[in-house]
């Protein structure tokens, strides 16, 4: 079972539990990033471009583009900003995109700009949302993230969330949307608030794959909300999800522990032929360490200028992230 995404020029990414884990880069999102939101409102898309480059360099083969500015006239502004953000991303990288918005007009504008076979983020089990989003999925023949909540809210019972996912898949079928074009988000609840939330998601991933024939994705970092050492929790949870068969997640590839966990889990699950991706990553870490040591001592690492351009882009983005 493969979910195929495609860039405007035809670059394909396959999402499947028997293939390497797919990171959907989450950084192009102004929510909680005041500097980015201000730049988008001013028509400045340089940070969008640098975020795109850094996430691709860090290993994300798909990028989520969110233009939610949190302003009163979002319905008027967001479609235009979404198109401009997508065009900025496409000017520097050639990868499939996830068009992320709660505003249907912005989704439509983003799908048209993205071209290829993008991903819509997202639909829920709410009747009104399904009737608004599924016609777009059918028209543009794209894929869609389906979040397992509906008018009743978000249930802590995994059986209820499974039934919502089932309802979404069944309704999608009436629009001619096949299960392989639906990525179910089983909804990760905070472990600090809902005991056993991680285990519930593991169970849901298996049910969804076996009974609905769909792939899955999620915002994995929700599991650690409100807890200390979040990155360690998230990294361990990511490995658990991969072992359970989840083939993708919307996450930040610039987080070292997360990336290391994903690569290690992929290798252990047999999704990394001859361990080449793991070995390449370790060589990259060694280059970075040597470059840092050389810089500290005033020396130079032979050949590092040619090899380190992408590494520098990723490090620059991590610094910007730390600054907000």
Mean pLDDT of 222-227: 96
Mean pLDDT of 272-298: 93
CATH number assigned to the domain comprising residue 77: 3.20.20.20
196 within domain boundaries: yes
Q: How far apart are CA 3 and CA 13, in angstroms?
A: 8
pLDDT bucket at 318, cuts 50 / 70 / 90: low
Is the CB of residue 184 less than 8 Å from the CB of residue 212? yes
pLDDT bucket at 240, cuts 50 / 70 / 90: very high
147 within domain boundaries: yes
**CB-count exposure of residue 73 (10 Å: 0-12, 13-18, 19+):** exposed
Mean pLDDT of 60-81: 91
15 within domain boundaries: yes
User: Per residue in 128-150, pLDDT tens?
Assistant: 999 999 999 999 999 999 999 99
Residue 297: the pLDDT is 87
Task: Indicate the range of 30-34, 109-113, 122-126, 268-272 predicted with least confidence.
Answer: 30-34
304 within domain boundaries: no
43 within domain boundaries: yes
Residue 306: the pLDDT is 46
Give the rounded percent of residues in the chain with a pLDDT score beyond 70.
92
78 within domain boundaries: yes
Mean pLDDT of 111-130: 98
Residue 312: the pLDDT is 58
pTM of the model: 0.91
Task: Indicate the range of 61-65, 222-226, 312-316 predicted with least confidence.
Answer: 312-316
309 within domain boundaries: no
Q: Between residues 256 and 315, which one has the greater pLDDT?
A: 256
Count up the domains in the chain and report the number. 1
Could you tell me the residue range of the domain that residue 47 belongs to? 3-275
288 within domain boundaries: no
């Amino acid at each position: 079972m493969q979910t195929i995404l495609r860039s405007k020029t035809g670059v394909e990414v396959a999402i499947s539990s028997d293939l390497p884990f797919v990171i959907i880069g989450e950084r192009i999102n102004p929510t909680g990033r005041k500097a980015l939101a201000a730049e988008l409102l001013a028509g400045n898309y340089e940070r969008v471009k640098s975020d795109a480059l850094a996430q691709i360099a860090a290993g994300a083969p798909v990028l989520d583009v969110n233009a939610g500015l949190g302003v009163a006239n979002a319905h008027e502004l967001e479609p235009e900003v979404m198109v401009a953000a997508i065009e900025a991303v496409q000017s520097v990288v050639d990868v499939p995109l996830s068009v992320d918005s709660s505003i249907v007009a912005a989704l439509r504008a983003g799908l048209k700009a993205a071209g290829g076979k993008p991903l819509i983020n997202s639909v829920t089990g709410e009747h009104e949302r399904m009737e608004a989003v599924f016609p777009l999925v059918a028209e543009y023949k794209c894929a869609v993230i389906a979040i397992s909540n509906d008018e009743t809210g978000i249930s802590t019972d995994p059986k209820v969330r499974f039934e919502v996912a089932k309802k979404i898949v069944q309704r999608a079928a009436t629009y001619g949307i096949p299960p392989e074009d639906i990525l179910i988000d089983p909804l990760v609840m905070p472990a600090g608030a809902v005991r056993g939330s991680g285990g519930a998601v593991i169970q849901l991933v298996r049910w969804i794959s076996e009974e609905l024939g769909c792939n899955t994705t999620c915002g994995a970092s929700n599991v650690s909300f409100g807890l200390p050492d979040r990155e360690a929790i998230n990294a361990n949870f990511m490995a658990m999800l991969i072992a359970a068969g989840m083939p993708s997640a919307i996450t930040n590839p610039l987080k070292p522990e997360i990336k290391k966990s994903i690569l290690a889990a992929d290798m252990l699950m047999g999704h990394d032929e001859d361990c080449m991706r793991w070995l390449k990553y370790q060589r990259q870490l060694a280059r970075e360490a040597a470059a840092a040591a050389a810089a500290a001592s005033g020396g130079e690492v032979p050949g590092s200028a040619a090899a380190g351009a992408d590494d520098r882009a990723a490090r620059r983005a991590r610094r910007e992230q730390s600054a907000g």
